[in-house]
């Protein structure tokens, strides 16, 4: 079966979101209310912000306002990779913030440890498993890149094992990859179970959550901030904006991110024999080393998620829901899956879906304030927000509280990224960059333009 018909039976609802049909929605806001702290957005960033705000201010009035239902957007459409990093990895930290890279690396590892502790403390079953990650190389220059990454890890006390030959086949047996680097201190989660656990912890502690309530505008009125929704307003002393890939409510932030569409497939459940045939018997996640990279992991019932590679930008920063269903990307993912796993050629794909990534030009989130310091925001996670969202929540709360902490002193936190240009220049720049990234994947040659962007601290990848 080929073409569109190949995916006709597959659900376009992300696998993770299937369980949401069995939970009760929170009510929509239907009257004006006041609150000490209001949070716009009910994904990872918003819910971590609410829960951590409750820890700091046990008696405060705290509300979360979500346009749909908590977790249905980017937080429920990702791969669930929970990294020991807040800076999009060790290399990105060392390249862009060399003078504070050691601090960023340490804080990223501490954040993952503390996230795990929080899940235990609040009894959140997010299917958290610190099972590791296998980084893979298909080309000679990618192999050298993994060796360099291992040396960098060693300098920073990060455990990692370089794999070739049989040692690689014991972790993954594929004709595509010739080397790997296994890092054990990496976690995976069920993203929607994590969202729902955070949501329940917030509700249990008196946080008000209003779903199906879109904030259309905000303004400063008499020293407070008013959030306007269709059926009621929220007036708050302090506000956190946690809308990420959605259109930023603050107009000045709109050039700072691009909505990039990412796509994924999910197989039917596989047998132990099928997994043994490809050498993937452990629970670790997998990612390859290309600019257009794939990420893959198993679910609790031994399905394989296979995502990435395509990073699609639609001219004009379009975010149409119809763009989440892209047959061309599903077909590309299938072809690449079968090349990597030829022994699984007969399997079915039960799910295929898309999601939107809030991409910044420096590949990490950034944070800041507005409205005389009464509003804080964090966005631009570039696909690495599952764990970094918790750190960003703590950073925003530090800022709103007026506290000077190790978090607030980070250059990564204080400096905003280079804005993306307006159209038509943005589309032209993205196409040019993607063409050069594709050429580098095939030849190992990094173009003059990409090297110039490197020197300017600007990046773009899938």
Residue-wise pLDDT tens digits, 225-254: 999 999 999 999 999 999 999 999 999 999
Compare 349 and 3 and report the one with higher pLDDT.
349
64-74 mean pLDDT = 95
Share of residues in the chain with pLDDT > 90 (%): 91
Query: What integer best gives the mean pLDDT of the chain?
Result: 94
pLDDT, position 457: 75
Low-confidence winner among 4-8, 35-39, 181-185, 213-217 (lowest mean pLDDT)? 4-8
Neighbour-count burial for 376-399, b at 16+ CB within 10 Å, e otherwise: bbbbbbbbbbbbbbbbbbbbbbbb
User: Could you tell me which residues come within 8 angstroms of residue 164 by beta carbon, excluding any fewer than 6 positions away?
Assistant: 178, 179, 180
The values of phi and psi at residue 335, to 5°, are: -60, -40
35-50 mean pLDDT = 98
pLDDT reading at 209 higher than 90: yes
* Start-to-end CA span in the chain (Å): 28
- Domain ranges for the chain: 1-422, 425-455
pLDDT reading at 53 higher than 50: yes
pLDDT, position 415: 87
pLDDT, position 461: 53
Distance CA 457, CA 17 (A): 36
Share of residues in the chain with pLDDT > 70 (%): 97
Residue pair 57/404 in contact by the 8 Å Cβ criterion = no
The values of phi and psi at residue 98, to 5°, are: -60, -35
**What is the per-residue pLDDT across 349-373, written as a single tens digit (0 to 9) for each?**
999 999 999 999 988 999 999 999 9
For CA atoms 8, 9, 13, 14, give the dihedral sign. negative
What is the token pair recorded at 29? Answer: 């806001």
Residue range 1-422 in CATH 2.40.440.10: no
Distance CA 81, CA 383 (A): 9
HEC string of the chain equals CCHHHHHCCCECCCHHHHHHHHCCCCCCCCCCEEEEEEEECCCHHHHHHHHHHHHHCCCCCEEEECCCCCCCCHHHCCCCEECCCCCCCHHHHHHHCHHHHHHHHHHHHHHHHHHHHHHHHCCCCCCCECCCEEEEECCHHHHHHHHHHHHHHHHCCCCCEEEEHHHHHCCCCCCCCCEEEEECCCEECCHHHHHHHHHHHHHHCCCEEECCCCEEEEEEECCEEEEEECCCEEEEEEEEECCCCCCCCCHHHHHHCEEEEEEEEEECCCCHHHHHHCCCCCCCEEEECCCCCEEEEECCCCCEEEEECCCEECCCCCCCHHHHCCHHHHHHHHHHHHHHCHHHCCCCEEEEEEEEEEECCCCCCEEEEECCCCEEEEECCCCCHHHHHHHHHHHHHHHHHCCCCCCCCCHHHHCCCCCCCCCCHHHHHHHHHHHHHHHHHHHCCCCHHHHHHHHCCCCCCC
Low-confidence winner among 16-25, 270-279, 301-310 (lowest mean pLDDT)? 16-25
pLDDT band at 422, cuts 50/70/90? very high
pLDDT, position 345: 93
pLDDT band at 21, cuts 50/70/90? low
pTM of the model: 0.96
pLDDT, position 355: 96
203-215 mean pLDDT = 97
């Amino acid at each position: 079966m080929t073409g569109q018909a190949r995916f006709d039976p597959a659900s376009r609802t992300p696998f993770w979101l299937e369980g949401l049909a069995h939970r009760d929605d929170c009510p929509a806001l239907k009257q004006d209310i006041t609150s000490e702290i209001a949070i716009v957005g009910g994904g990872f960033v918003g819910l971590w912000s609410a829960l951590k705000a409750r820890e700091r201010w046990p008696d405060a009035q705290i509300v979360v306002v979500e346009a749909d239902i908590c977790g249905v957007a980017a937080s429920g459409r990702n791969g669930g990779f929970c990294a020991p990093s807040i800076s999009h990895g060790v290399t990105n930290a060392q390249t862009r913030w060399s003078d504070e890279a050691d601090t960023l690396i340490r804080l990223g590892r501490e954040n993952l440890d503390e996230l795990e502790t929080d899940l235990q403390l609040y009894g959140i079953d997010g299917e958290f498993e610190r099972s590791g990650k296998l980084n893979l190389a298909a080309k000679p220059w990618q192999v050298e890149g993994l060796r360099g990454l291992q040396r960098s890890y060693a300098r920073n006390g990060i455990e990692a094992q370089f794999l070739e030959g049989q040692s690689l086949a014991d972790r993954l047996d594929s004709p595509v990859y010739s080397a790997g680097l296994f890092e054990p201190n990496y976690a995976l989660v069920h993203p929607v179970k994590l969202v729902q656990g955070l949501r329940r912890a917030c509700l249990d502690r008196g946080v008000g959550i209003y779903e199906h309530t879109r904030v259309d505008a905000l303004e400063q009125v008499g020293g407070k901030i008013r959030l306007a929704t269709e059926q009621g307003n929220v007036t708050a002393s302090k506000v956190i904006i946690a809308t990420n890939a959605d259109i930023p409510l603050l107009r000045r932030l709109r050039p700072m991110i691009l909505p990039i569409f990412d796509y994924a497939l999910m197989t039917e459940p596989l047998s132990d024999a099928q997994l043994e045939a490809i050498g993937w018997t452990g629970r670790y996640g997998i990612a390859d080393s290309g600019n257009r990279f794939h990420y893959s992991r198993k679910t609790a019932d031994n399905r394989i998620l296979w995502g990435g590679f395509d990073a699609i930008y639609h001219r004009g920063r379009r975010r149409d829901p119809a763009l989440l269903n892209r047959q061309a990307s599903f077909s590309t993912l299938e072809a690449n899956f079968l090349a990597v796993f030829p022994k699984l050629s007969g399997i079915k794909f039960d799910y295929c879906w898309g999601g939107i990534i809030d991409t910044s030009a420096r590949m990490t989130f950034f944070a800041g304030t507005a409205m005389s310091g009464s509003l804080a925001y964090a966005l631009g996670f570039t696909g690495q927000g599952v764990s970094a969202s918790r750190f960003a929540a703590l950073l925003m709360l530090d800022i709103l509280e007026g506290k000077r902490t190790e978090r607030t002193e980070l250059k990564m936190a204080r400096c905003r990224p280079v804005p993306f240009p307006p159209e038509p220049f943005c589309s032209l720049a993205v196409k040019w960059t993607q063409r050069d990234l594709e050429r580098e994947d095939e030849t190992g040659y990094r173009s003059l333009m990409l090297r110039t962007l490197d020197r300017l601290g600007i990046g773009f990848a899938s």
